Structure 1
């Protein structure tokens, strides 16, 4: 929410306040230094809403200047953030947002920024007919220029740079938007481990009867399976789906060959693929598979 909207909520119906109170509220809304809050009131001749707009514009300018000044500083810390579209479509995004220090990466402001960017990315559009994969890399430059209610993704980042004085960079972003597949239904499993490791698993299934999706018992079992698959992908150093990515890789880097520890119980020692086969048979499905996955870790390729 922008400073202006917050100001309207805080101030529009409030009685007249002293200059000291106005300065305090400006600082609360914007985290601006007291000198800047006083200057904003002076420049706006005591008009609170105008002072908020002045601070917002000043922060944008100072943020851009500060971002330019510190843009070469290394950003080796950060967070992975995942968002799933709430539009009824099977669509999700995963992004990596970097900063300079572990301390900043754990702040509420940085966490909210990463979450907001991943939500915007999840709504991104791409030319489905040109895609050859369920996962589509999103060009960072394009995402930075994506419009937002208070500017662009880029201005969201520079605004936070202005407030914390640390370099922040959007390293990468990817959209999960399944390719069409006749007869198959898609589901998404997602998991974040302390914001440092994130996984998205695209699960395809083909039930004999579509009414199965109205069965509460089936849906509860399916949601548990989705979560466990994503947690498994993140928890192991998963590189391949059904075979090694390279001859040097360990067998446990292959998802289907891993013991399904994250599902637990009697399945914990069985390979993931065997458990999926059993699950498919239990519910009478024609097909059950992990079609693709993405596993990201902060600082890794």
Structure 2
């Protein structure tokens, strides 16, 4: 039995305070993600768990004040969408659909309608665990998938079942862990792999994307998060080699900062979705696996000058 929880913290990065104010006990969670746009019930949080459930929570009782005390998560709906484990999820740009990667290699496309989760499509996309799925921000009819079978694929959901646009099985030497479409460049997408490489792909020929360049991060690239405001800047969780901030530019990707204050597998990472602090920095949250450690920190880099 895999048991987990979702915890909400009040964070004051300036004073170094981190205070737990709400917790929900759940099945073991592989992925959680906030919706990308507002809704009439406030921010929505989606959860993919080990029991094969997709659950949606709304954030209630929080205002725009500096201290969101009294806030809590309210489960809007939950649906067992598979007998396999739900490993990863992604909201589409309009926050009307969620793609879910499953441990049997399938991908499920669901929609949230009238407080109910409905499955629109599901197909066998890969031979092994489907670690990552990603909607195309600029062409939301396309969804990308990556798997333990070392394949990086794209599917067109206008077909039913979805038709394969491409599948690359030659570049990644180990499983594909994460995929992240550039929010600013419609022709660029990133992949991370157990083979320790962060790769930059050119999508201008969508049926045959080109792996333009790559950088070895010294550990399996489990998560990639684009900076919310600084184009071409990404945060990577690198499993056995901590965390890295990488600049993706016209030349080869460059590691501008590394963070090694975790003593266990680097799994979770994200930027604070707020304005840049004085000096051009942004707060980062990272977490590691076996030691169950959460750290909130400020990068040393001045992002205004990157």
Q: Name the TM tier (shorter chain).
A: under 0.3
Q: Which has the larger radius of gyration?
A: 1
- Report the structure, 1 or 2, having the larger strand content: 2
RCO (CA 8 Å, sep 6+): is it higher in 1 or 2? 1
The TM-score with structure 1 as length reference comes to 0.26
- Report the structure, 1 or 2, having the larger helix content: 1
The TM-score with structure 2 as length reference comes to 0.26
